Structure 1
């Protein structure tokens, strides 16, 4: 039988001795007095059961032979992959422009872009609205003046054109402008085919020019007429 407690009372008959560090154990007559402790015990048991179940599902429980759980390496690899993907997403995620930054301005091109293919078989119109096949004017220097008349540049180009090269100014719509420069033939492009061909947006201070030889091959596309020396050699090429 057990040792008596501090009041000289031992454990009830038939019960083993209790550990001395437990102190005095009082068994209440009404079991409802232990309801709070019972709820704590049940809560702890449920928590342990859930943890055990999830560890088993993830393969984190020790194996009977004492080796590490099978799911542990998989979990490590999964975490590493997630961290890597998060880093890549952070680097490649598009950033919105800051409010203090100004818009990106693309300067108007000053160098000739790549060739855009042979001259298409377009029909322009003259002042009487009669169709004029563009290929019938080759070789030609065709200047688009739908956004800029650029009279000085057109006059310089006409003066530099060698014999046999037709200098043509082209406006948009059906209104044909008058050219004060002798030797320049004004035409209109109702369908806007030439502007689509050169793939250059209209600029109010620029008149692009197309230099085409007698075979319809594009020799030079000048996005903006400048000094004649920039394209004089090309004029000689299309006249050959």
Structure 2
């Protein structure tokens, strides 16, 4: 250890520039005597240096989250959107299930004007036109005129009331479907202003469904095939 001076103080006591409140300072002769103090000091310095990044990490994380949230909000506002307001997509036309064509027509009993039951399968082969959405006499006249001999043209109204045949042809059979069985078989709701038709061969198999009956040219060949 350092040697004290004549007054009993260590050799550092007289060093200039040292605050008196530090008290007595003893400088050892062997620096290894300070190894424990030096190791402790280094640990304290490392701990202090490690605390500073940890203290900065949380504010930095909060800042990053705030920036991401702001950017997401701006993108949501600026991103192009579909037309809104009065713009409406054009509704797709009603279409029956794809499995109806090729299926057997169910054994339905309809009624005539006298409310007498009429087995629908007893009138085949036939073009069956549902008129619950539209009477459309011109379309029924075209169908009656185009139907080959032996092919029945049948109009079917909803409910129990048989609609008066709008066709001038005496070959058109007007019936009603009180139970709604034919419409249920199609799986298609009434579409106002539109006729729906089924072409059914003599075995009772539905060969084609016309969800929106158009001009006769769109089904003339199908009518001819029923007669084969």
Q: Deviations over 1:21-65 (max 9, x none)?
A: xxxxxxxxxxxxxxxxxxxx9xx87x849x5xxxxxxxxxxxxxx
Give yes or no for the alignment of 1:105 onto 2:90.
yes
Partner residue, 1:203: 191
Partner residue, 2:112: 126
Partner residue of 2:148 out of 156, 162, 183: 162
Checking the alignment, whether the CA contact within 8 Å between 1:4 and 1:11 is kept in structure 2 is: no
Distance 1:12 1:132, change over 3 A: same
Partner residue of 1:12 out of 15, 20, 23: 23
TM-score, scaled to structure 2: 0.63
Could you say what the CA RMSD is over the residues aligned between the two structures, in angstroms? 3.5
List gaps (5 residues or longer) in structure 1: 18-40, 52-89
Partner residue, 2:174: 186
Distance 1:205 1:4, change over 3 A: same
Write the mapping of 1:53-132 to structure 2, written as runs, cut at 5 A.
99-100=84-85, 102-108=87-93, 114-116=98-100, 117-132=103-118
Partner residue, 2:58: none
Distance 1:16 1:143, change over 3 A: farther
Partner of 2:122, secondary structure, is helix
Give yes or no for the alignment of 1:226 onto 2:214.
yes
Partner of 1:186, secondary structure, is strand
Q: Number of matched residues?
A: 171
Deviation at 1:172, TM superposition (A): 0.5
Query: Relative contact order: is structure 1 or structure 2 higher (C-alpha 8 Å, sep ≥ 6)?
Result: 2
Checking the alignment, whether the CA contact within 8 Å between 2:135 and 2:166 is kept in structure 1 is: no
Partner of 1:176, secondary structure, is coil
State how far apart, in whole Å, the 2-side matches of 1:213 and 1:124 are.
18
Deviation at 1:145, TM superposition (A): 0.2
Checking the alignment, whether the CA contact within 8 Å between 1:127 and 1:176 is kept in structure 2 is: yes
The answer to which of 121-130 and 136-145 deviates more is 121-130
List gaps (5 residues or longer) in structure 2: 1-10, 29-43, 55-74
State how far apart, in whole Å, the 1-side matches of 2:99 and 2:18 are.
111
Checking the alignment, whether the CA contact within 8 Å between 2:97 and 2:187 is kept in structure 1 is: no
State how far apart, in whole Å, the 1-side matches of 2:197 and 2:171 are.
16
